[in-house]
Amino acid sequence: MSFIDPSAHVGPRMLDDLDEALSLRAADAGWPAYRMGQIRKWVFQKRAADWEAMTDLPQAMRSQLAESEPLWTTSICRHVQDDDGTEKLLLELEDGGRIECVLLRGGQRRTLCISTQVGCAMGCVFCASGLDGVKRNLRTGEIVEQM
């Protein structure tokens, strides 16, 4: 089993390193400090899907960020919706690992099952996450992106 090595970052992790990565980028580019607050608002309050949605940022800034800073680090491999309303997402991570998250609907309630590790030691037959055992813990941003 391998766990997260913080020094093993391949590139910026938007939700993990939002302040650090973009603050350095902003300083290098000469962007005003208040732009970070605007970006945080778009990511965490307005749930922007991409840089272009952040319309209060200058177009040139959005273009530069879109080229160099991934906003989301996961991609959807498969989306399945059952007759009872249950939705399952299989997500691929930057390193090729795959995780599953499930939205369960029951009356007025909703339950979201999210992964905290690549793989799982439990081996439940209904869940793809446990097929290969535990590989590593997820980074904070990888957990948040499931929601």
Mean pLDDT taken over the chain: 80
Q: Is 145:93 a contact under the CB 8 Å cutoff?
A: no
Q: What mean pLDDT comes out for the span 78-107?
A: 90
**pTM of the predicted model, to two decimals?**
0.66
Q: Which helix (H) or strand (E) holds 22?
A: helix 18-29
- Residue-level pLDDT at 121: 81
Tokens of 144: 């948040």
- CATH fold of 9-68 reads DNA polymerase; domain 1 (1.10.150)
- Residue-level pLDDT at 23: 77
The proportion of the chain whose per-residue pLDDT surpasses 70, expressed as a percent, equals: 84
Domain borders along the chain are: 9-68, 75-144
Residues 6+ apart with CB under 8 A from 142: 13, 16, 73, 74, 93, 99
Q: What is the pLDDT of residues 1-23, one digit of tens each?
A: 333 333 333 334 555 566 677 77
